[in-house]
């Protein structure tokens, strides 16, 4: 039997890592894999064991090909890759910034406007229902990226499935941030309090911005930011469930319907990347229906406790250090 390797000391720059990088470094060090931090703030590192060296940017490693990366990089292109593989995507089109965008809205009534490149929910407006909102949403999205995608808004739970090495390792439902009225505080104050709590709970990686999008979401629910929310009333202050803008995450790996598991594996195979976070909207995680939303080439591995996302990632990079499975 092989001797367990001794855990190594943290490398210079360790204290500047975010939680997504830190868990990867911790897992590597305790397997005796050396870590050199090239850019701790960006999570860029080189892991080495014997003569094997692996460069990674958080969970994006050199095992992901440039072709697979490109398939994830442009949401319009990702949709084509999924559709070609026979997988379901939301009805959608690239915005033309003319009357065709309004025609798309008129067809679907309730749409999502998002930059084709972007992450963490940046520049996305969910629930656009009028031409006026469409104009604002197009301007918001194109400030992040000049190319913009329009999609039919799907109703349901926001599911993230993490696939590593052709295996579903974790599935989580993400929920948009919700404030609860106390009969005394304004919605703006409640949102700021929630934001402070999320910042603390996530080591600085999640907060709820009080910006134009928050204002619009609150307004469309019939409230104003400077209004006192009645005691016990729950109000969603964002429509995107991204963690970075205050969403919360709940592990549902054991409840995931086998068809959704198969969809995630087929989507990962179509993209061709060994590590992916697939986003879908599903009526229920326990049912077979889904709409694929996007593929993330650098999924956060830190939000899926108790699932072994980091262990599987390091197994993939250094299979010789994989521990026997129970």
Neighbours of 222 (CB within 10 A): 8
**How many residues sit close enough to Mg ion to count as binding (CB under 5 A)?**
1
The verdict on whether omega for the bond into residue 306 sits within 30 degrees of 0, i.e. cis, is yes
Q: Is 279 in the site for Mg ion (CB under 5 A)?
A: yes
φ/ψ bin of 120: left (φ > 0), alpha (ψ from -120 to 50), beta (otherwise): left
**Distance from C-alpha of 256 to C-alpha of 262, rounded to nearest angstrom:** 10
Environment class of residue 264 by beta-carbon count within 10 Å: exposed (0-12), middle (13-18) or buried (19+)? Answer: buried
Q: Does 158 bind ligand ADP (CB under 6 A)?
A: yes
Residue 90 binds which of ligand ADP, Mg ion, none (CB < 5-8 A, kind-dependent): ligand ADP
Q: What residues from 237 to 276 belong to the interface with ligand ADP (CB under 6 A)?
A: 240-242
Q: Is 126 in the site for ligand ADP (CB under 6 A)?
A: yes
Contact 242, 126 (CB under 8 A): no
Which partner from the list Mg ion, ligand ADP, none does 120 bind, CB cut-off 5 to 8 Å by kind? ligand ADP
Half-sphere exposure in the Cβ direction for 287 (13 Å, CA): 10
Q: How far is the CB of 64 from ligand ADP (least distance, A)?
A: 17
Minimum CB distance to ligand ADP smaller for 95 or for 154: 154
Sequential DSSP letters for 64-88: S-HHHHHHHH-HHHHHHHHHHTT--
In contact, 12 and 37? CB cutoff 8 Å: yes
Q: Please count the other Cβ atoms lying within 10 Å of the Cβ belonging to residue 92.
A: 18
Q: Give the one entry of ligand ADP, Mg ion, none that residue 47 binds, where binding means its C-beta sits below a cut-off of 5 to 8 angstroms depending on kind.
A: none
Q: Which residue, 114 or 312, is less far from ligand ADP as judged by CB?
A: 114
Tell me how far, at minimum, the Cβ of 300 lies from ligand ADP, in Å.
11
Residues 20-79 that bind ligand ADP (CB under 6 A): 75
Residue 281, contacted partner among Mg ion, ligand ADP, none, CB below 5-8 A by kind: ligand ADP
- Per CB under 5 A, the segment of 30-38, 48-56, 202-210, 272-280 that binds Mg ion is 272-280
DSSP state of 9: P
Residue nearest to Mg ion (CB): 279
Residue 238 tokens, joined = 């964002």
Using alpha carbons, list the distances in angstroms from residue 266 to 83, 161, 193, 253: 11, 12, 41, 17
- In whole angstroms, the minimum distance from the beta carbon of 256 to ligand ADP comes to 17
- Between CA 156 and CA 239 the distance in angstroms is 12
**Residue 297 interacts with, from ligand ADP, Mg ion, none (CB under 5-8 Å by kind):** none
Which of the listed partners (ligand ADP, Mg ion, none) does 282 bind, with a CB threshold of 5 to 8 Å by partner kind? none
Smallest distance, Å, CB 12 to ligand ADP?
Answer: 32
8 Å CB contact between 199 and 189? no
Site for Mg ion in 184-203 (CB under 5 A): none
**151 scored as a contact of Mg ion (CB under 5 A):** no
Place of tokens 């929630």: 194
Contact call for residue 101 and Mg ion (CB under 5 A): no
Q: Which residues are near ligand ADP by CB under 6 A?
A: 75, 90, 112, 114, 118-122, 124, 126, 151, 153-154, 158, 240-242, 279, 281, 293-294
Q: Which residues are near Mg ion by CB under 5 A?
A: 279
């Amino acid at each position: 039997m092989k001797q367990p390797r001794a855990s190594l000391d943290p490398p210079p720059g360790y204290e500047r890592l975010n939680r997504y990088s830190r868990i990867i470094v911790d897992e590597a060090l305790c397997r005796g894999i050396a870590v050199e931090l090239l850019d701790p703030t960006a999570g860029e590192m080189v892991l080495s064991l014997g003569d094997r060296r692996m460069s990674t940017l958080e969970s994006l490693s050199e095992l992901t090909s440039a072709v697979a990366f490109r398939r994830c990089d442009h949401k319009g292109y990702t949709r084509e890759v999924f559709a070609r593989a026979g997988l379901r995507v939301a009805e959608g089109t690239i915005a033309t910034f003319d009357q065709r965008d309004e025609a798309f809205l008129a067809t679907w009534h309730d749409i999502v406007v998002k930059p084709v490149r972007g992450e963490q929910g940046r520049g996305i407006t969910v629930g656009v229902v009028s031409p006026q909102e469409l104009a604002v949403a197009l301007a918001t999205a194109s400030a992040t990226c000049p190319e913009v995608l329009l999609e039919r808004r799907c109703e349901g739970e926001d599911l993230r499935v993490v696939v590593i090495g052709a295996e579903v390792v974790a599935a989580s439902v993400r929920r948009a941030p919700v404030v609860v009225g106390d009969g005394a505080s304004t919605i703006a104050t409640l949102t700021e309090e929630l934001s402070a709590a999320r910042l603390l709970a996530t080591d600085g990686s999640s907060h709820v911005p009080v910006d134009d999008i928050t204002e619009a979401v609150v307004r469309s629910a019939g409230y104003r930011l400077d209004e006192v929310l009645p005691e016990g009333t729950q109000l969603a202050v964002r429509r995107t469930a991204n963690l970075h803008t205050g969403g919360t995450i709940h592990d549902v790996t054991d409840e995931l319907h086998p068809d959704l598991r198969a969809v995630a594996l087929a989507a990962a195979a179509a993209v061709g990347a060994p590590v992916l976070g697939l986003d879908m909207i599903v009526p229920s995680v326990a049912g077979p229906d889904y709409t694929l939303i996007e593929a993330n080439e650098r999924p956060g591995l830190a939000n899926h406790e108790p699932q072994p996302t980091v262990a599987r990632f390091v197994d993939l990079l250094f299979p010789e250090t994989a521990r026997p499975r129970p």
